[in-house]
Amino acid sequence: MSDVILEMRNITKTFPGVKALDNVSFSVNRGEIHALVGENGAGKSTLMKVLSGVYPHGSYSGDIIFEGKECAFRDITESEAIGLVIIHQELALIPYLSITENLFLGNEQGQRGIINWNESVSKTKELLKRVGLDESPNSLITNIGVGKQQLVEIAKALAKKVKLLILDEPTASLNESDSEKLLQLLLQFKENGISSILISHKLSEVSKVADSITILRDGATIETLDCRKDSIGEDRIIRGMVGRDITNRFPPRDSKIGDTFFEVQNWNAYHPLHADRKISDSVNFHVKKGEVVGIAGLMGAGRTELAMSIFGRSYGSRISGKVIKDGKEIDVSSIEKAVNNGIAYATEDRKSYGLVLIQEIKDNITLTNLDEVSSMGVINEPKETAITTKYRTDLNIKCSSILQKAVNLSGGNQQKVVLSKWLFAQPDILILDEPTRGIDVGAKYEIYTIINRLAAEGKGIIMISSELPEILGICDRIYVMKEGKIVGEIPAKEATQEIVMKFIMTQEVTEQ
Amino acid sequence: MKALLNLLKTNIREYGMLIALIVIMAFFQYQTKGVLLKPINITNLFLQNSYVIIMALGMLLIIVAGWIDLSIGSIAAFVGAIAAVMMIKMDFPWWLAILLSLLAGGLIGAWNGYWVAYVKIPAFIATLAGMLVFRGLTYLILNGEQIGRFPDQFQKLSTGFIPDYFHMEGFHLTTLLIGIVISIVLIVLDIQSRKNQKKYGFEVTPIAFFLIKNSLITGALMGLCYLLASYKGLPNVLVLMSVFIAFYTYVTNQTVLGRRIYAMGGNEKAARLSGVNTPKLLFQTFVNMGVLAALGGLIVTARLNSATPKAGTGFELDVIAACFIGGASSSGGIGTVIGAVVGAFVIGVMNNGMSILGIGIDWQQAIKGFVLLLAVFFDVYNKNKS
């Protein structure tokens, strides 16, 4: 039918002690979008690193054939030279350089080391047009949003005359509309004959755009599904990924909801740098005992900013408003006070804000409440060990020992450590910001179970999430946020994906 | 045997520098034909390096917190100068002058800490400024001249020895007894911590390794005490230094304060969002550094028996080098008190050994530079390998 642009044959890659890839074969046709899915640790990233030359030829066994020629890349520049470009999950742009400078970094336009800026800028304009980005070529990367940065990365790939584009979790940090835009772009590239490999945890996207899907599990190819013949549902993909049917992605929940005990009234906050930009605008909300309250909204709607401004004023300036707990106004002017008043905030960015990666699991968990495991400032190590061990069992943290460093844990287990540390602070109200971002289906289910258990204990949970099915799946009540305002409140029973999206979109229409 | 080798391999960073120190000592002992480990030289070695070690304790905390302090040499000189003015020109009692000097050190530390922790000026710049400011003020206070000599009690801080209660001819028995008591305490503590680890199901080192380690430590300690005892006994400053080393080891390993400093250095944002008041903590770390720099300054002044405007020049470099040779990470969050002490001894033994051999200051500097580079290279190499 169509010709094969890339073929990887019998790839085996071992790390000391682990076989990361075991005889994996994988092929991509010219002009198709090929999705690569699998749980965390299934070997997707390793496979792509072998392909792009991050792991040089000789450090793995097997063959890579690109456009009929056998390849033996020694590093990334060699793979990029023949049109194989990988865009990593963590973007590799230099924040204080302009779009133009970033686009041609390492590929500068000019002669004998002198840059021709006119040519660079005009080429940049052309590339930005192709990816549908309306920004000045002189804008600094730091001043444009993540969604636009992602587009700049793609434009950079185009500048390198890409034939096969590899995207590792491109939409993980994008909101729904930016994600949509990116997927449309991939479809458009397909028309122009550029193939893509899409690695994604978001199965809805995969089933929407992919022409074929290859599923990896435990370092081996499980199957390749052809989506052109018959449509493949998400459940079908999940079955391949986990090797069994997950009949229910959300654990059943028997909510016993009590009285309102936590309330935020007339909350206002401004951006810390742009003094006139309001990030929270007259926000009012409440949480009942044993209730899981979702906050839905697009990226940049001000959900994280709202949570952080409440949590000890850790974000924003000129903050005003009342926080009421159990009928009394509480002081949340510093993080210490917020924690002492029973508020906990588990961040969306566990690596930079949640964990001290170079420290042990034990030290991370007890950091929020060291007073509990010490007397007169001296840490009681047996007590600390006992408590940490309990969290390890309760939350099923998979590790060799509680003395293992956090950096060596998988994303899901890191998230469990973040949850543990906040549970140890004994909060009454727990704000979870994107608690399941970038973790696999199995670990997600475990996190949901923990959330249910906490609610059953009578705690109030506020859950911020960009994944609508998740919000709909586990919340009792949903607030919709947009541009720093709460624009809707929906009981879970009445909520559907369409209703929530309508709240977000309608507002936009009335403003225009 | 194989298990032992494996263990050594995994703990190479922890013991590597200690082994290096022993090799360096053996080398100089051989080259100087036994002069290095003569009782009088060993005593001198401690007297010469005590201030580096005491300041390294403060610097280690600053480096673990993720910063650096370049001003400590100037602080030491400045404090020495005001101590001289207080004791010699104004006839303050020596103990009051020491107290006020330490207080002044704390205030200078607070000055540095304020700019770094609250105004958020990078420590490199803030303390570089401090280095210039306090050096200048030292010249001002001393009018560019030396001031001496100090009361005897003050000099004893650096040059005195603990009293002997047995009056044996040519042998300081008290020193040896103290050595025995400390050895027993160390062994008991290690057995206890081993028991505790076993109780919680942690992997413990094999018993053979445990025995070898303890007999080596005891042997080294007793050997040292024997050497010191056959000269004048334990120097006062060594007692002071040992108490400080023990105290700071305890603070870093066992206390909330220590744990928070490591967390702050490992990831400041995560620590702050966990409820740690990071600016305050960093401020305190600098105050602590100021006090220890002041103590170092007093020891040096007492040893020289005069305050000079040039005192303490370049101390900061030896102290910082000691921390890095001892395995501290320049990006923060990693480093041990014992490592810094071993690092300080590596520098001290090299200084002393090379001086005995009559190697000029030119080569001494260059060789120390290479050793620093080598130690950090070793660190980076190990990290990349794992």
B254: contact with A, CB 8 A cutoff: yes
Nearest CA in chain B to A424: B274
Q: What is the 3-state secondary structure (H, E, C) of chain B?
A: CHHHHHHHHHCHHHHHHHHHHHHHHHHHHHHCCCCCCCHHHHHHHHHHHHHHHHHHHHHHHHHHCCCCCCCHHHHHHHHHHHHHHHHHHCCCCHHHHHHHHHHHHHHHHHHHHHHHHHCCCCHHHHHHHHHHHHHHHHHHHHCCCCECCCCHHHHHHHHCECCCCCCECCECHHHHHHHHHHHHHHHHHHHHHHHHHHHCCCCCCCHHHHHHHHHHHHHHHHHHHHHHHCCCCCEHHHHHHHHHHHHHHHHHHHEHHHHHHHHHHHCHHHHHHCCCCHHHHHHHHHHHHHHHHHHHHHHHHHHHCCECCCCCCCHHHHHHHHHHHCCCCCCCCCCCHHHHHHHHHHHHHHHHHHHHCCCCHHHHHHHHHHHHHHHHHHHHHHHHHC
Cα B140 to Cα A213: distance, rounded to the nearest angstrom: 77
Mean pLDDT of chain A: 86
- List residues of A whose CB lies inside 8 A of any B CB: 311-312, 314, 334-336, 338-339, 345, 347, 352-359, 363, 366-371, 374, 377-379, 381-382, 385-386, 389, 401, 403, 421, 425
Q: How many CB atoms lie within 10 A of CB B318?
A: 20
Domain match, B365 and B316 both: yes
B125: contact with A, CB 8 A cutoff: no
pLDDT of residue B7: 62
Which structure tokens are listed for A472? 């709909």
Nearest CA in chain B to A361: B263
Does the beta-carbon distance from B263 to A356 stay under 8 Å?
Answer: yes
Minimum distance, in Å, between the CA of residue A168 and any CA atom of chain B: 25
* pLDDT over 70 (residue A505): no
Digit-coded pLDDT (tens) for B247-304: 999 999 999 999 999 999 999 999 999 999 999 999 999 999 999 999 999 999 999 9
Which CATH number goes with the domain that contains B58? 1.10.3470
The residue from B234, B249, B270 where one domain ends is B234
Distances (CA, A) of A267 to A195, A257, A329, A477, A486: 48, 25, 13, 20, 11
With CA atoms as reference, report the closest residue to A214 among A200, A235, A193, A204: A200
* pLDDT over 80 (residue A39): no
Domain match, B101 and B221 both: no
Task: Give the predicted TM-score (pTM) of the model.
Answer: 0.81
Percent of chain B with pLDDT over 70: 96
User: What class does CATH assign to A251-342+428-447+458-512?
Assistant: alpha beta
Domain match, B88 and B210 both: no
Does the beta-carbon distance from A367 to B333 stay under 8 Å?
Answer: no
- Buried b vs exposed e over B212-225: b needs ≥16 C-beta within 10 Å? eeeeeebeeeeebb
* pLDDT over 60 (residue B80): yes
Domain match, B127 and B177 both: no
Distances (CA, A) of A469 to A3, A475, A500: 37, 10, 11
Cα A102 to Cα A115: distance, rounded to the nearest angstrom: 13
* pLDDT over 60 (residue A245): no
Of A36-50, A163-177, A314-328, which one has max mean pLDDT?
Answer: A314-328
Does the beta-carbon distance from B267 to A363 stay under 8 Å?
Answer: no
With CA atoms as reference, report the closest residue to A154 among A93, A241, A219, A212: A93
User: Are A478 and A291 a contacting pair, CB within 8 Å?
Assistant: no
Minimum distance, in Å, between the CA of residue B383 and any CA atom of chain A: 12
What mean pLDDT is predicted for residues A429-437?
Answer: 91
- For residue B240, being part of any structural domain is answered with no
Is A251-342+428-447+458-512 in the same CATH topology as A4-242? yes
Domain match, B61 and B170 both: no
Q: What is the DSSP letter of A320?
A: E
User: Are A147 and A172 a contacting pair, CB within 8 Å?
Assistant: no
B386: contact with A, CB 8 A cutoff: no
Does the beta-carbon distance from B255 to A389 stay under 8 Å?
Answer: no
Domain match, B212 and B282 both: no
ipTM for the predicted complex comes to: 0.84
Cα A434 to Cα A440: distance, rounded to the nearest angstrom: 13
Cα A203 to Cα A207: distance, rounded to the nearest angstrom: 6
Domain match, B48 and B143 both: yes
Q: What is the 3-state secondary structure (H, E, C) of B280-341?
A: HHHHHHHHHHHHHHHHHHHHHHHHHCCECCCCCCCHHHHHHHHHHHCCCCCCCCCCCHHHHH
Mean pLDDT of chain B: 90
Does the beta-carbon distance from B254 to A379 stay under 8 Å?
Answer: yes
pLDDT of residue A16: 65
* pLDDT over 60 (residue A259): yes
Lowest mean pLDDT among A110-114, B30-34, B72-76: A110-114
* pLDDT over 90 (residue A310): yes
B10: contact with A, CB 8 A cutoff: no
- For residue B243, being part of any structural domain is answered with no
* pLDDT over 90 (residue A440): no
pLDDT of residue B297: 96
**One-letter amino acid identity for A168?**
D
For A189, residues 6+ apart whose C-beta sits below 8 A from its C-beta are A165, A196
- For residue B241, being part of any structural domain is answered with no
Q: How confident is the model at residue A266 (pLDDT cuts 50, 70, 90)?
A: very high
The residue from B180, B200, B234 where one domain ends is B234
Strand A69-71's sheet: what is its strand order? A18-29, A4-15, A61-66, A69-71
Indicate the SS3 state at residue A430. Answer: strand
User: Are A146 and A179 a contacting pair, CB within 8 Å?
Assistant: no
Cα A206 to Cα A200: distance, rounded to the nearest angstrom: 7
pLDDT of residue A509: 41
Indicate the SS3 state at residue A221. Answer: strand
User: Are B136 and B322 a contacting pair, CB within 8 Å?
Assistant: no
CATH architecture of A4-242: 3-Layer(aba) Sandwich (3.40)
Percent of chain A with pLDDT over 70: 95
Q: Does residue A86 or residue A238 have the better pLDDT?
A: A86
Domain count for chain B, please give it: 2
- For residue B7, being part of any structural domain is answered with no
Backbone angles phi, psi at A234, to 5 degrees: -60, -35
- For residue B385, being part of any structural domain is answered with no
Does the beta-carbon distance from A355 to B274 stay under 8 Å?
Answer: no
Q: How far is CA B171 from the centre of its chain?
A: 28
Residues of A in contact with B269 (CB under 8 A): 352-353
pLDDT of residue A41: 64
Name the pairing type of β-strands A164-168 and A84-87. Answer: parallel
Helix H or strand E encompassing A294: strand A292-297
Minimum distance, in Å, between the CA of residue B201 and any CA atom of chain A: 10
So where are chain A's domains? 4-242, 251-342+428-447+458-512, 349-426
Helix H or strand E encompassing A176: helix A176-191
pLDDT of residue A157: 87
Q: How confident is the model at residue A40 (pLDDT cuts 50, 70, 90)?
A: low
- For residue B320, being part of any structural domain is answered with yes
* pLDDT over 80 (residue B11): no
- For residue B5, being part of any structural domain is answered with no
Minimum distance, in Å, between the CA of residue A355 and any CA atom of chain B: 6
Digit-coded pLDDT (tens) for A456-493: 999 999 999 887 888 888 999 999 998 888 988 999 88
Minimum distance, in Å, between the CA of residue B263 and any CA atom of chain A: 6
Q: Which residues span the domain enclosing B200? A: 161-234
Q: How many CB atoms lie within 10 A of CB A451?
A: 24
pLDDT of residue A17: 58
- For residue B245, being part of any structural domain is answered with no
User: Are A446 and A396 a contacting pair, CB within 8 Å?
Assistant: yes
Residues of A in contact with B279 (CB under 8 A): none
pLDDT of residue A510: 42
Domain match, B121 and B201 both: no
